[in-house]
Amino acid sequence: MGASPWPPLLANAWCGEAAEGALALNSLAWGAKRDVAIPSQSLAAPVVDHNDWRDPRVGWGVVLADQTGLSNDALATGDDAPEPVRELIAARGGAPVFRYVPGNSKGLLRRYRVGGKPSDLNLSGERGLGTNAVPWYLLIVGSPKDIPWEVQYHLQTQAYVGRLDLDLEGLENYVGALLGEWSGSPRSARTPLVWAVDKGHPDITRLMRKTIAERLVDKLTSDKDVDMAQGFLTDAAATCTDLVSALVSRQPAFVMTSSHGATFPLTDPKAMGAKLGGLVDVENTVLVDQVEAWKPSGAIWYAHACCSAGGDAVSLFAGLVDPTSTLGQTLTAIAQTGAQTSPLARKLLGTKAPLGAFVGHVEPTFDWTLRDPVTKQTMTEHITRSLYDELHLASRPTIGRAMAPYFAATAGSMLDYSDALDAIVQQGNVALDRARTAKLLALDRLAMVILGDPTVRLPPP
């Protein structure tokens, strides 16, 4: 069965050129494969104030990798966690500790008990800080090698989830700043920064600029509490040098960037991993180490770029595109670097005056997710809604709560995918096409993650 005559997929991955690929001949089979979990619920409007994570009906907890050779008591209290994490658990009232157990369902968390038996808990059950409840806020601590990205994908459709994957010094820096609530931080909500690379049509950077960056700038410009003068860098100003200079001069509490993410050289996984997801500017310079000139000091950064949050050892999109295309080769090469958090995000979150939260993609993201390939309708409202209408509210919701509209849209795509699969017997190729498109949208959106604590928020207006 051949593929339908769809346009090629454009990705914001830069492998020495903009990666793209025609659909593989067996891509309909990829779309029909039932390997996406359909959520039992989404992040619906809460009955209680979900921005108040201290409320026992909401709650905050930590997710660690399960360990062998430790007592149930030690596993229950997180005795194996790095010292800064134990300090954070204690400071937040002896917060509950959960464990990811390899082999369990990705959406199932184990809760060990001091002096009691462990239990496996599903997020569809009781929520909050009860004995058999799972908090709405969860901080994963560990590498995606130990707690897979897929666990975060499952959890974030039903909870507000972040991740810290830092060395000991980075954890000390981050937890210290978090507990001190970034006291004395120079960051300002009045001076956000938007940086959008545009390599011209038909490159995906033009689409990202038009459908995300410019729409967000329009919203920010109309905000009386925001000064966007010299706060939008694009065209010739979309360089790493100009970005870092503006970060230092504006001290933004909110940063949004759109660009390709670095995924080269394709033949050297180690070299690729060292700069994976680094932002590629208009001159093809990669931003990673240059950010050391800036003190993020609790800012929130959204980066719409390939692998801006990291990469995975098995691509969600393997089998979707022609493996000989630049995109097919890029997906293979990214997987060879293994599961990892991007160097840029780790650097920003682990520095002396760390970033508060980094929101980005694992793997590439595609043009079909921004604009429907058939109707040409743009589909980025859930992004700008999360980043402005929610995050910039005067009440200052948490980054976890602000991203809820985004993940609610993800759940809708997964339900569309399930409906299309159910219709295949009656509708044949028409339903197969629907299933492939819905699956692409769902997985692309699902692979957006929050790095940092999900309770972080912007400072007051």
- Give the range with max mean pLDDT: 27-41, 295-309, 368-382: 295-309
For residues 275 and 288, the answer to whether their CB atoms sit within 8 Å is: yes
Q: pLDDT tens digits for 159-201?
A: 999 999 999 999 999 999 999 999 999 999 999 999 999 999 9
114-147 burial by CB neighbour count: b if 16+ within 10 A, else e?
A: eeeeeeebebeeebebeeebbbbbbbbbbbbebb
Residue 284 burial (C-beta neighbours within 10 Å; 0-12, 13-18, 19+): middle
Q: pLDDT tens digits for 399-440?
A: 999 999 898 888 788 888 888 888 887 887 888 888 898 889
Shortest CA distance to 197 belongs to which of 188, 206, 186, 187? 206
Determine the Cα–Cα distance for residues 331 and 333; give it in Å rounded to an integer: 6
Q: How far is CA 48 from CA 45, 55, 134, 137, 139, in A?
A: 9, 9, 15, 14, 20
Helices (H), 326-428: 326-336, 343-350, 367-370, 381-384, 399-402, 404-422, 424-427
pLDDT at 4 over 60: no
For residues 458 and 189, the answer to whether their CB atoms sit within 8 Å is: yes
Three-class SS of residue 16?
A: coil
pTM above 0.85, yes or no: yes
pLDDT at 1 over 50: no
pLDDT at residue 2, as a whole number: 43
Largest Cα–Cα distance in the chain?
63
pLDDT at 327 over 70: yes
Q: pLDDT tens digits for 245-290?
A: 999 999 999 999 999 999 999 999 999 999 999 999 999 999 999 9
Ramachandran assignment for 319, one of left (phi > 0), alpha (psi -120 to 50 degrees), beta (any other)? left
Instruction: State the DSSP H helix or E strand holding residue 158, giving kind and residue range, or none if neither.
Output: none
Lowest mean pLDDT among 7-11, 35-39, 337-341, 411-415: 35-39
Apex CA 433: angle with CA 447 and CA 200, to 5°? Answer: 60
Tokens of 340: 């990892």
Q: pLDDT tens digits for 67-107?
A: 999 999 999 999 999 999 999 999 999 999 999 999 888 88
Tokens of 51: 């921005």
pLDDT at residue 39, as a whole number: 56
Q: pLDDT tens digits for 142-153?
A: 999 999 999 999
* Cis amide leading into 202 (omega within 30): yes
Tokens of 5: 């005559």
For tokens 């980075």, name the residue: 170
Taking residue 214's Cβ as centre, other Cβ atoms within 10 Å add up to 18
pLDDT at residue 405, as a whole number: 87
Three-class SS of residue 301?
A: strand
The pLDDT mean for the chain works out to 93
Start-to-end CA distance of the chain, whole Å, equals 56
Shortest CA distance to 146 belongs to which of 241, 64, 86? 64
For residues 410 and 440, the answer to whether their CB atoms sit within 8 Å is: no
Show Cβ contacts of residue 210 under 8 Å, excluding neighbours closer than 6 positions: none
Instruction: State the DSSP H helix or E strand holding residue 160, giving kind and residue range, or none if neither.
Output: strand 160-164
pLDDT at residue 350, as a whole number: 98
Q: How far is CA 95 from CA 70, 76, 131, in A?
A: 19, 10, 12
DSSP-assigned states of every residue in 408-436: HHHHHHHHHHHHHHHTHHHHTHHHHHHHH
Determine the Cα–Cα distance for residues 255 and 356; give it in Å rounded to an integer: 11
Shortest CA distance to 208 belongs to which of 12, 17, 387, 390? 12
